[in-house]
Amino acid sequence: MSEQKQAMVIPNDTQVRIHDDCEGDYAQTLELSTGPDGDIWIKTNGKHGHDSLRFRTPTFGGGMSQKTYFALVNLMQAMREDNERSNHNGV
């Protein structure tokens, strides 16, 4: 992964984003929070509680969350690299 500017961690912060297929149900969200110690918590709020959420590609898929989409792509790459380094594939 190429060098990227690292964002500053803001303790006790919460950011919420509606996913692209919410069908008018604005409670279907991706929520990221930081604790007082800087740890990051991820929560999904779907139709049935904790469901999968879809963020469509901004170029061809009609995605409405371009920055969130690319941040998730970068997160996936970072997870891939962490898993390769630790040799346990995330489990």
With a threshold of 0.85, does the pTM exceed it?
no
Q: How confident is the model over 11-32, as pLDDT tens digits?
A: 899 999 988 878 888 888 899 9
Q: How confident is the model over 46-66, as pLDDT tens digits?
A: 877 667 788 888 877 788 899
Q: Which of 19, 14, 20, 41 is nearest to 30 (CA)?
A: 19
SS3 assignment for 42-75: EEEEECCECCCCCCCCCCCCCCCCHHHHHHHHHH
Domain positions in the chain are 10-53, 55-91
- The number of CA neighbours under 13 Å toward the Cβ of 90 is 6
